[in-house]
Structure 1
């Protein structure tokens, strides 16, 4: 019985193959994507059950972005062998891919599809293809992979072929391969991630807040110099934070004054008439100046903020009996100066040596990490995160000491009109500023982390539309908020410094105040006191010369009697 069933199935398969062979005819390949693939004859229906080459062409067009992305060097051959299989008169069945070719392409391209939310098509299931090429089942094994997986090749490196890396980016016609830097550079006027309207809005937003920050910080530093009040280590560091923010705002002003093309673009070395978005800051002097002002002084402001937080913690932990330890803290001012100015200088020099200064597309401002994710992580995110972490540790330690400090016992007697010390008030004010400064700094760091996490997906070529989805784009409001938070730091520190200094300066200009008369309490005037003073009576007793407690009688000297006199004294006068 089993032999009969097997014989029937064999006859059925043979008859089906003969029927398909009688229907299938080889024809020239008409699909543009699969011409010059290594063979020029195909037959329909294909392995995906398409009966016309036009239907296969429409399906292959959806895979065009994935082919340009370059996840596998064999993807092109694999897709054509499935949708436009090889046909020959000597073989009845179409010659498609082998299972090894399918698995190689699947291992490299499926992670890319999964990262964008797509699934692997059912007609490309590797189990549908023969395991190997033999006399029973003919298939194409492929030439093998010629490059490592695309997941290990960053977008800003050459990879295999150099120019092929630019084809993996969004809008490939907006990029050009630069051999000297080994990366793809964007044309200066190309609209890749941002539109022209968004660029104009961002430039106006930037110029407005930069001008406000520069004016406020300059006024604060001028008021401090006019007052000449040095203060403690924390107050001096606070002024240096304002000075650094003023210089950083000047960098934004240089960018606004020079314009987008003059500050953020550079000529292509291979074609002098072509302008590219700056990817080497040393090629454009305006770009280098803007970078130094923004990066160096911005990072220095963060370091000085850490000094402010550390000075506040030291002031909180210092006991009242240790009030004379301020001179000991001043001895370490040289070390603080070296750390606050030397660390940003070393990092800025490293960026210039590696020629890692680049401009962003939105505002055309030169910074570091605008086009390289590695530079953004190593030179921007990590230093700012370290500064924020140290400052928060100092703040939390000082706050813990404040909460655990016992309440002061009031003195039994308090002298009136005695000036009380204001040390606690100034220390708490300094700590409040350090805590408020940490909030915008954390928000700025979050925007950098957001850009680092999603930049590669924004710049990657869109995936084939296997499922309805949109290509990820950056959120415009996040970058506007970064500009706002960066400039509001300068405004905040300026207002915090200038308020008491301007008051002191106004008092110095206007002169000493006139003493204000004491206010008379409301109500009816007090009743005057009346004292009765009488003349000495002639009959008086004289004190005993030896014991004053006893008195002696003295004869009257004169007999006169005076009327009592009345004197009126107010309640506020003193009688001697």
Structure 2
């Protein structure tokens, strides 16, 4: 053959080879040596990963941003799938790789995936994490450009799980390779697993229950909420508190009604200030006690404190629920606040009476309209403000709806702050009145009769005892509320740790979970006793010889009628 022909063939071959490597392709790309180039690999800087570029119509697009999504791959060893489904859904490929995990074989991976099925107890997490688990534990693997390549899950697939699964992300539940690092999870990568339809229905780990109300979602577990029955208290503790409320409110109601009846049977002589204020105080405590006792009707407690979905009522009033919670709140809160205002008026009236014995009666009677205006309007303002802020919450333990069971600062502002004012003003007027009486007794001991001196002494004793007991009741109430405020986060965190531990125990059966710290039922009992004891104390102002005489006269009148 002609040597020139050989030379021309050699030049043509070299020219073709040169043009193949000098066509503008990325120097980091792995070339396709085949005819008809349809795809290529571009290395992702700083990682062992590649973008698989497929310049054809099958490439997916991200419509929100008009960005083309390419597959992301990494060198691995492919092996046939031992199981063609993942978490109950069929996989659209037949080969996988174990190189994205810490595990050595598919049997270990299947065992681990079965354990992750317990994430069904975190419904919103379960709904979004299944594609991530399958694309990581059982990823697609195939031969690309002569090399085994495994398809990587995208960073977006991982990131979307962070909030729904947040309750477990900072624990040992997930291995490090599921913590959304950008080496394993490159951004904007198309993955075949995203097209698989999974069963997204979940359930809630007891004691949590399913709810669709975001307000009731338990922290970190959307779709689940705390049950109406407070899990921080045992069933026995619930029954203890219910018995205490029944006896305390029942006795308080009986004593208050007896006092009201004592005034009514002798209204002509009893209808005078400051004694008449005791009548209004007892009316208020009687109505509040009725509010406490409503829960003991058949099915009433659940109707009052529980939502329709079985969670505890909070943020009332709401359009979705009935008014039973709000009605009980008004009966208890409004009339207890009214009783407190009437108590301050009572101490003021006594103070004015003691300052000028025998001269002040007309002046006090003329202020009656102002007393009523203040006593009924101030509690009304507080009640309306509480409902406007949506701070009425139910409690399965006490069986009523009250202010700030959830929002403690609001309870401090709408309950403890008014009680502070009552303690300050009531204590001031009572002490001033007692000092006035003591001054009268000392300055007039040689003038007044022994009977008058004895009456002054009894009044001083009663006022002093009332002031001391009211101060004790309010201070103990403050201490109980402060105890709850200071420890609420501790109890909440202990309960959350227990929930997390029990979720982890589903994956690690040998793990033991303790209940952690809980609130003291004795503190709650003490707080409730102070409430009912205050009502009984106000009723005791009619436990006098004059009241007994009034009942004897009433009995005589009734006997005369028959």
TM-score, normalised relative to structure 2: 0.57
Cα distance change, pair 139–185 in 1 and its aligned pair in 2 (3 A):
closer
Once residues 487 and 205 of structure 2 are traced to their aligned partners in structure 1, the CA distance between those partners, rounded to angstroms, is: 17
Once residues 497 and 124 of structure 2 are traced to their aligned partners in structure 1, the CA distance between those partners, rounded to angstroms, is: 7
| 5+ long unaligned stretches in structure 1 | 1-12, 15-19, 144-162, 269-273, 512-576
Residue 250 of structure 1: which of 290, 298, 316 is its match?
290
Cα distance change, pair 408–129 in 1 and its aligned pair in 2 (3 A):
same
Once residues 375 and 424 of structure 2 are traced to their aligned partners in structure 1, the CA distance between those partners, rounded to angstroms, is: 18
Aligned to 1:210: 249
For the pair 1:367 / 2:421, whether they are aligned, the reply is no
Aligned to 1:271: none
Residue 87 of structure 2: which of 32, 38, 62 is its match?
32
Residue 47 of structure 1: which of 93, 98, 101 is its match?
101
Q: Give runs of aligned pairs for residues 125-524 of structure 1, distance below 5 A.
A: 125-127=179-181, 129-130=183-184, 132-133=186-187, 170=206, 174-175=209-210, 177=212, 202-226=241-265, 228-229=269-270, 232-233=273-274, 236-260=276-300, 264=304, 288=323, 292-293=327-328, 295-309=330-344, 312=347, 320=355, 324=359, 328=363, 330-345=365-380, 360-361=395-396, 365=399, 367=401, 373=406, 382-394=413-425, 414-415=446-447, 417=449, 419-420=452-453, 421-422=456-457, 424-425=460-461, 427-439=463-475, 441-442=477-478, 445=481, 462-463=499-500, 464-465=503-504, 470=513, 475=518, 478=521, 482=524, 485-486=527-528, 488-498=530-540, 501-506=543-548
Q: Give runs of aligned pairs for residues 532-571 of structure 1, distance below 5 A.
A: none
Once residues 284 and 132 of structure 1 are traced to their aligned partners in structure 2, the CA distance between those partners, rounded to angstroms, is: 45
Once residues 284 and 128 of structure 1 are traced to their aligned partners in structure 2, the CA distance between those partners, rounded to angstroms, is: 45
For the pair 1:60 / 2:116, whether they are aligned, the reply is yes
Once residues 337 and 237 of structure 1 are traced to their aligned partners in structure 2, the CA distance between those partners, rounded to angstroms, is: 10
Cα distance change, pair 428–354 in 1 and its aligned pair in 2 (3 A):
closer
Once residues 412 and 202 of structure 1 are traced to their aligned partners in structure 2, the CA distance between those partners, rounded to angstroms, is: 51
Write out per-residue CA displacement over residues 443-489 of structure 1, whole angstroms, 9 at most, x where no aligned residue. Answer: 674588589866799699933317957486995754x8646644653
Residue 124 of structure 1: which of 167, 178, 184 is its match?
178
Aligned to 1:554: none
Across the aligned residues of Structure 1 and Structure 2, the Cα RMSD in angstroms comes to 6.0
Question: What secondary structure is seen at the aligned counterpart in 2 of 1:244?
Answer: helix
Q: Once the 2 structures are TM-superposed, how far is the Cα of residue 244 of structure 1 from its aligned partner?
A: 2.0
Once residues 181 and 301 of structure 2 are traced to their aligned partners in structure 1, the CA distance between those partners, rounded to angstroms, is: 55
Write out per-residue CA displacement over residues 13-59 of structure 1, whole angstroms, 9 at most, x where no aligned residue. Answer: 99xxxxx84574445454427x3688786432542335322332244
- Is the CA contact (8 Å cut-off) linking 2:391 and 2:403 kept in structure 1? yes
Q: Once the 2 structures are TM-superposed, how far is the Cα of residue 127 of structure 1 from its aligned partner?
A: 4.3
Task: Report how many residues are paired.
Answer: 452
Cα distance change, pair 93–408 in 1 and its aligned pair in 2 (3 A):
farther
Once residues 207 and 94 of structure 2 are traced to their aligned partners in structure 1, the CA distance between those partners, rounded to angstroms, is: 31
Once residues 552 and 187 of structure 2 are traced to their aligned partners in structure 1, the CA distance between those partners, rounded to angstroms, is: 99
- Is the CA contact (8 Å cut-off) linking 1:46 and 1:82 kept in structure 2? yes
Once residues 447 and 298 of structure 1 are traced to their aligned partners in structure 2, the CA distance between those partners, rounded to angstroms, is: 21
Once residues 337 and 384 of structure 1 are traced to their aligned partners in structure 2, the CA distance between those partners, rounded to angstroms, is: 21
Cα distance change, pair 39–417 in 1 and its aligned pair in 2 (3 A):
farther
Question: What secondary structure is seen at the aligned counterpart in 2 of 1:92?
Answer: strand
Once residues 142 and 374 of structure 2 are traced to their aligned partners in structure 1, the CA distance between those partners, rounded to angstroms, is: 76
- Is the CA contact (8 Å cut-off) linking 2:78 and 2:148 kept in structure 1? no
Question: What secondary structure is seen at the aligned counterpart in 1 of 2:401?
Answer: strand
Once residues 168 and 282 of structure 2 are traced to their aligned partners in structure 1, the CA distance between those partners, rounded to angstroms, is: 46
Once residues 118 and 311 of structure 2 are traced to their aligned partners in structure 1, the CA distance between those partners, rounded to angstroms, is: 31
* Greater RCO, CA 8 A, separation 6+: 1
Once residues 456 and 37 of structure 1 are traced to their aligned partners in structure 2, the CA distance between those partners, rounded to angstroms, is: 40
